[in-house]
Structure 1
Amino acid sequence: MDRVAVVTGGSRGIGRAVALRLAQDGQAVVVAYGHAPAAADSVVTEITDKGGRALAVQADVADESAVAALFDTAERQLGGVDVVVNAAGIMVLAPLAELDLDDLDRVHRTNIRGTFVVGREAARRVRRGGAIINFSTSITRLSLPTYAAYAASKAAVEAISPILAKELRGRDVTVNAVAPGPTATDLFLDGKDDATVERMAKMNPMERLGTPEDIAEVVSSLAGPARWVNGQTIYVNGGAA
């Protein structure tokens, strides 16, 4: 029986790389997306053209009815859920003194409420031997100016994950968070000039940005063979923090 993975934010960036990597690993993949149906469909096509199984489902991760329907679809069409990767997230950058509180609410709705909503459904449905993988950020350690709203939301993810791991005692389901450093995605690159990108690339001793595939490699391990890693935040940043 194939393992089945639900990947939120699976249409673009790190989520897309994770969906493709888990499919390469032999998992059937539900590509959950918010606002990019064409991008999600392209991920599904890339997986199915290589002989894998995948489908795209629209869902607002902060909407409990939409997330329940997402899991219903995974169970109905693919037979169940073994892995949940909660890669959906948004980022708004501004100095705290200038932060628009509506933006703060929007970030927290997706990044915190979304983690609770997806995690709650995952805790109810993931089969034995499964894995739940949330996304934090290395900014929680780097403490870069303008990142307060985003870092605060991701610090909450780091608090949630080990607690859920303990709440699932006896279920043989692991819960971990992955905390990427600066990674070459549209989300990261948007609004940054070349000098800023270059400076951030050199923050780690590898002197480069991470790639989505670098992050997906770690998720692949947590989603399959790494059964003795549980309740942890794994920093994937080339040694930046």
Structure 2
Amino acid sequence: MDLELKDKRILVTGGSRGIGRGIVTTLASQGASVITCYAGSHDAAESLRAELAGYGDRHLVVQADVADRAAVARLVDVCAERFGGLDALVHNAGVISHIPFADLPEDEWERVLTTNLTSAYLLMRAALPLLGAGSSVVHVGSKVAMVGVPLRAHYTASKAGLIGLTRSMAKELGARGIRVNVVAPGPIETEAELPAEVLERYRRMIPLGRLGRADEIAGAVAFLASDLSSFVNGETLNVDGGI
């Protein structure tokens, strides 16, 4: 199916690895022009640059930490200079850690909330002048936002906040023809840092009997970034295998 992304101008945050990389390469393969950013993995960024070269010279990989207000401003300036505007903004960048709540230090709470949630506010506010009627904002959230999970209170709170932000912005920006939605992945193969027994427990909980793949999340993001979803607004699309 043609996702009608040809010549769409799209910014994807956190695109050098995992789900983000799957999103970037899927959008590029569908004809979109993509700018993406990474925080610190230079090797992954170089590898992505090489891969994107196979889809033409329209794409750009830049270093930018979305938790840094100045870096966000520079990133959006690059989009303005390169593209002149944006047809979609995909906020995928995020961090996670696993800490019992009783031991959760304030600086780690702030790090996760800033990177996962405050950055969405910073990006949307900075990019708003580049978004016009028919454009789409997609936040990559998490299934845990609606169910909770031990040791990740800070992460869960940040992803739940994205849903609330999305619902409000969908109502506020809808009159301007800008749609705002969330894609909420369930357990994905890229979560290799989790213990094997945890991943196996997830597999048993998923009716499909397996973890998800990055390209399956990317397909949902591409749909929401495309005109095929032109009447989808304020929604959370769970891509979780039915867990």
TM range (shorter): over 0.9
2:23 touches 2:218 (CA, 8 Å); kept in 1?
yes
Percentage of pairs with the same residue? 38
Say yes or no: does 1:234 pair with 2:240. Answer: no
1:123 touches 1:168 (CA, 8 Å); kept in 2?
no
Please name the residue that 1:222 is paired with: 224
Task: Tell me the CA shift for residue 126 of structure 1.
Answer: 1.4
AA of the residue aligned to 1:97: A
Please name the residue that 1:149 is paired with: 154
Query: Which stretch of structure 1 is more off in the superposition, 62-71 or 102-111?
Result: 62-71
AA of the residue aligned to 1:204: I
In structure 1, distance between residues paired with 2:73 and 2:103: 37
What TM-score do you get using the length of structure 1 for normalisation?
A: 0.93
In structure 2, distance between residues paired with 1:52 and 1:202: 43
- Partner of 2:171, secondary structure, is helix
Say yes or no: does 1:49 pair with 2:60. Answer: no
Gaps of 5+ in 2: 1-5
Deviations 1:98-153 (A, max 9, x none): 22222111101101211111121232321321110012110123322112111011
- The CA RMSD measured in Å over matched residues stands at 1.5
| Structure 1 residues 203 and 122, CA gap change in structure 2 (3 angstroms) | farther
In structure 1, distance between residues paired with 2:203 and 2:120: 28
Q: Find the partner of 2:210 among 208, 211, 215.
A: 208
2:37 touches 2:63 (CA, 8 Å); kept in 1?
yes
Query: Which stretch of structure 1 is more off in the superposition, 20-29 or 50-59?
Result: 50-59
What TM-score do you get using the length of structure 2 for normalisation?
A: 0.92
- Partner of 2:206, secondary structure, is coil
Q: Find the partner of 2:132 among 107, 116, 127.
A: 127
- After TM superposition, list the pairs within 5 Å mapping 1:121-200 onto structure 2: 121-185=126-190, 188-190=191-193, 192-200=194-202
Deviations 1:65-121 (A, max 9, x none): 221211211221233211110000000112211222221111011012111111212
Please name the residue that 1:86 is paired with: 91
- Partner of 2:90, secondary structure, is strand
Task: Tell me the CA shift for residue 160 of structure 1.
Answer: 0.3
In structure 2, distance between residues paired with 1:42 and 1:130: 29
Deviations 1:21-73 (A, max 9, x none): 11111100001111123312322321222336211111121223221211211
- After TM superposition, list the pairs within 5 Å mapping 1:35-114 onto structure 2: 35-51=40-56, 53-114=58-119
AA of the residue aligned to 1:189: A
- Partner of 1:104, secondary structure, is helix
AA of the residue aligned to 2:128: A
Gaps of 5+ in 1: none
In structure 2, distance between residues paired with 1:100 and 1:209: 31
In structure 1, distance between residues paired with 2:57 and 2:180: 25
Task: Tell me the CA shift for residue 176 of structure 1.
Answer: 0.4
Q: Find the partner of 1:17 among 22, 27, 43.
A: 22
Please name the residue that 2:3 is paired with: none
Q: Find the partner of 2:13 among 1, 8, 11.
A: 8
